[in-house]
Amino acid sequence: MKISPPDYILSIKPYVPGKPIEELEREYGISGSIKLASNENPLGPSPLALAAIEKALSGLHRYPDGSGYYLVSKLAQKLGVAPESIVLGNGSDDIIGMLTRALLLPGDEVIMTDPSFAMYDITTCMVNARSVYVPLIDRALPLDTVAGAVTSKTKMVFLTNPNNPTGTVFSGKAFERFLEAVPSDVVIVVDEAYIEFVQDPECARAFDFLDNSRPLVALRTFSKAYGLAGIRVGYGVMPPYLAAILNRIRQPFNVNSLAQVAAIAALDDEAFLKQTLAVVHDGLAWLYAELEKMGLRCFPSQANFFLVDVKKDAAAVFEEMLKQGVIIRSMVSYGYPSYIRVTVGLPEENARFVAALKAVLK
Ligand SMILES: *Cc1c(COP(=O)(O)O)cnc(C)c1O
pTM summary value: 0.97
For the segment 313-321, the average pLDDT, to the nearest whole number, is 97
What does the pLDDT look like over 263-278, one tens digit per residue? 999 999 999 999 999 9
Residue to mutate, 90, 93, 189, 301, ligand 1, most ligand atoms under 8 Å from C-beta: 93
Asked if pLDDT for residue 355 goes beyond 90, the answer is yes
pLDDT at residue 283 in the model: 98
Residue 227 carries which DSSP code? S
Q: Is the dihedral of CA 345, 348, 349, 350 positive or negative?
A: positive
Query: Domain residue spans in the chain?
Result: 18-44+271-361, 47-268
Summary mean pLDDT of the chain? 97
Residue to mutate, 15, 90, 92, ligand 1, most ligand atoms under 8 Å from C-beta: 92
pLDDT at residue 56 in the model: 98
Indicate if 47-268 has the same CATH topology as 18-44+271-361: no
How many percent of the chain have pLDDT more than 90?
A: 94
What does the pLDDT look like over 187-241, one tens digit per residue? 999 999 999 999 999 999 999 999 889 999 999 999 999 999 999 999 999 999 9
Asked if pLDDT for residue 14 goes beyond 90, the answer is no
pLDDT at residue 13 in the model: 86
CB 247 within 8 A of CB 66: no
Domain topology for 18-44+271-361: Aspartate Aminotransferase, domain 1 (3.90.1150)
pLDDT at residue 168 in the model: 98
Asked if pLDDT for residue 2 goes beyond 90, the answer is no
In this structure, the residue with its CA closest to atom 14 of ligand 1 is 193
pLDDT at residue 238 in the model: 98
The CATH architecture one would assign to domain 47-268 is 3-Layer(aba) Sandwich (3.40)
Asked if pLDDT for residue 18 goes beyond 80, the answer is no
Report the atom number in ligand 1 closest to the C-alpha of 222: 8
| Euclidean distance between CA atoms 344 and 267, whole angstroms | 22
Phi/psi for 13 (5° steps) reads -80, 115
Q: How confident is the model at residue 185 (pLDDT cuts 50, 70, 90)?
A: very high
Please, what's the b/e burial string for 185-221 (b: 16 or more CB within 10 A of its CB; e: otherwise)? ebbbbbbbbbbbbbeeeebbebbebbeeebbbbbbbb
Pocket of ligand 1 (CB under 6 A): 39, 91-93, 117, 160, 164, 191, 193, 221, 223-224, 229, 234
| Euclidean distance between CA atoms 281 and 296, whole angstroms | 19
| Euclidean distance between CA atoms 113 and 131, whole angstroms | 9
Cα 280 to middle of ligand 1, angstroms: 17
